[in-house]
Amino acid sequence: MKFSTTLNHPKIFIAIIFLAMLFCLPMLANGLLLDDYPQRIAMYTAPTSNLFDFFSRGNPLTEAQLQSGILPWWMSEEAKVRFFRPIGELLIHLDYALWPDNFALMHLHSIAWYGVLLTAVASVYKRLLPLRWAAALATLMFALDHGHSAGVAWLCNRNVLVAMTLSMLCLLCHRRDSVRMSIVAVALFACSLAASESALALSGYLLAHELYLTRRSNTTKALRLLPYAVIGLCWIGFWATQGYGVSGPGFYIDIAQQPLLFFEKLVYRAPAYVVSQIAFPPVEVFGALELQTLPRAMQWLAGGYIFALLGLLFWFFRPLLKQLAMARFFALGLVIAALPLVASSPVSRSLWYVSFGAFGLIALYVAHYREAVATFGGNEASLRRAGIFAKTLLALHLLLSPLLFLALPQMATAFDIAMDSETVALPTTDSDPRLLLLASPTYIGSVTFPMLKDQALSYGAAPSRNLPTLTHIRGLVDTEHAFRLRRVSEDTLVVKSEQGFASMATKPYGFSAGHEVVLDDVRITVEQVNADGQPLQIRFSFKPGALSGYKVMRWQAERFVAATLPEIGTSIEIN
């Protein structure tokens, strides 16, 4: 525990922020990723549109992409991902006004916001934690947390950095016992919601502050929280009436429309988020084990591990929670912050508000092991267990997590390369404007984002890609399993799978027999489905002569290769 002397250095907080900035420098080479591409396209084609409206049905751009085949035909009619993030939009417009073709400067902009956020977080920890070195330890763990690396490296996620900065300033002002500071705190809370809906997680810390860190009457506590509740409810009402929110299958759950699904996921995901932030492994591992294609036994094992580790963590933290109101503040805050995250697929970059409470709690634990050994019962066995636990946490967050922090931007680059038209051999600028894909393992990764990437990078003063010339892409199915393709007539194809095309209709969404999708040159009919609504047989009825104009490809060995259709009246099996 000699590091406590180093962490008491007068310039320690400046050193921590400087170190974090150094760790972020490799991100300058990252370029764009995922939703950055449709945002860039929107900036050049529809700059007044909502930059945080992604593939929502009814949006003219989405419907055009569905007709062209950039988006798959099986995209849900309920699909919507539309957020209200005006401050985040403003900062993107600033990027494109000042350095529209310099992605390194865009990343530097995000890194600068991370520095501002760390300054705000350090200020809060210094005012909450009893020892300066403990506050520095919490700040250091927060600064080098691997989940934050993914958040900073992704330009589209900058809005969360801004929102949390405003949230930390709100918490600082809320702690000040004056009417003027209370007004400022409420205004900052409203502004944080305008940056990102993630700021709702601050409500857990505001509640915990009034419950555990003040001695006011219950009535006064309620009155101090009332303005935040009013703003939060008005914000939720505004979202609902203006059409913001999410629906349909994908990364998010629509809580209002699917409360049962949300509560089903709550049992698994909320503990997973807490466990992964404090201990190991990263929450993406638990997310991968949620996949419906995996054996049910693996999911049960993952759930057993989560709850066993959660119980172990509670057992270790229990003496601290009993003695210190500040420990209860951090614990309640992080638990409440984890609850809304259940509505999204498990990713570490969502854990900003959870990590604030987790690192405050860990720093308190280490401080009390170092400075107040009586907390752990005063006997040798208790002290030894507490020491092992404290050192394990420090090893995870000061050794392993910083290594992952450095590795994740490189992994993001590799992920982006995997979804590149050159990698998957998608002929986006082929002389044939029409392409028929017999199958793909994941259409979004092998078609949608490669097409969007090429289109996005074809804009600007010095484009690095050619604008895609494909006008029609028709993907038959998404699957990793074998299926049969039968050519009924010159312009009619039928695909059939005994297992069902599960990835095309994930639970609880599904098709019904007879469902039709009409594109400009083909009518697609889902003829048979299984009990979960996953297609078993699908008919593609092209307009007369249309099918002969398509170049045919199929997925093989991690890329698209040339293929041929079966003769009329015959069928082939595609593996």
Question: Is 181 buried (19+), middle (13-18) or exposed (0-12) by CB count in 10 A?
Answer: middle
Q: Which residues contact 335 (CB under 8 A, 6 or more apart)?
A: 204, 270, 274, 357
Average pLDDT over residues 404-421: 93
Question: For residue 575, what pLDDT is reported?
Answer: 81
The token duo for 476 is 């038959």
Average pLDDT over residues 251-277: 90
Question: Is pLDDT of 373 > 60?
Answer: no
pTM: 0.94
Question: For residue 371, what pLDDT is reported?
Answer: 72
pLDDT digits (tens, 9 = 90+) for 202-231: 999 999 999 999 999 999 999 999 999 999
Average pLDDT over residues 430-437: 92
Question: Is pLDDT of 108 > 80?
Answer: yes
Question: Is pLDDT of 536 > 90?
Answer: yes
Through-space distance between the first and last CA atoms of the chain, rounded to whole angstroms: 58
Question: Is pLDDT of 122 > 60?
Answer: yes
Instruction: Provide the 10 A C-beta neighbour count for residue 299.
Output: 16
Calculate ∠ Cα 438-504-284, nearest 5°: 115
Calculate ∠ Cα 102-106-111, nearest 5°: 140
Between 75-89, 119-133, 178-192, 239-253, the lowest mean confidence (pLDDT) is in 239-253
At residue 376 the predicted structure's pLDDT band, cuts being 50, 70 and 90, is low
With pLDDT > 70 as the criterion, what percentage of the chain qualifies?
A: 98
Give the strand pairing for 434-437 and 551-556.
Answer: parallel
Determine the 3-state secondary structure of 85 from DSSP.
coil
Question: For residue 134, what pLDDT is reported?
Answer: 95
Q: Are 85 and 52 contacting, i.e. CB atoms less than 8 angstroms apart?
A: yes
Between 2-6, 47-51, 107-111, 278-282, the lowest mean confidence (pLDDT) is in 2-6
Average pLDDT over residues 497-515: 88
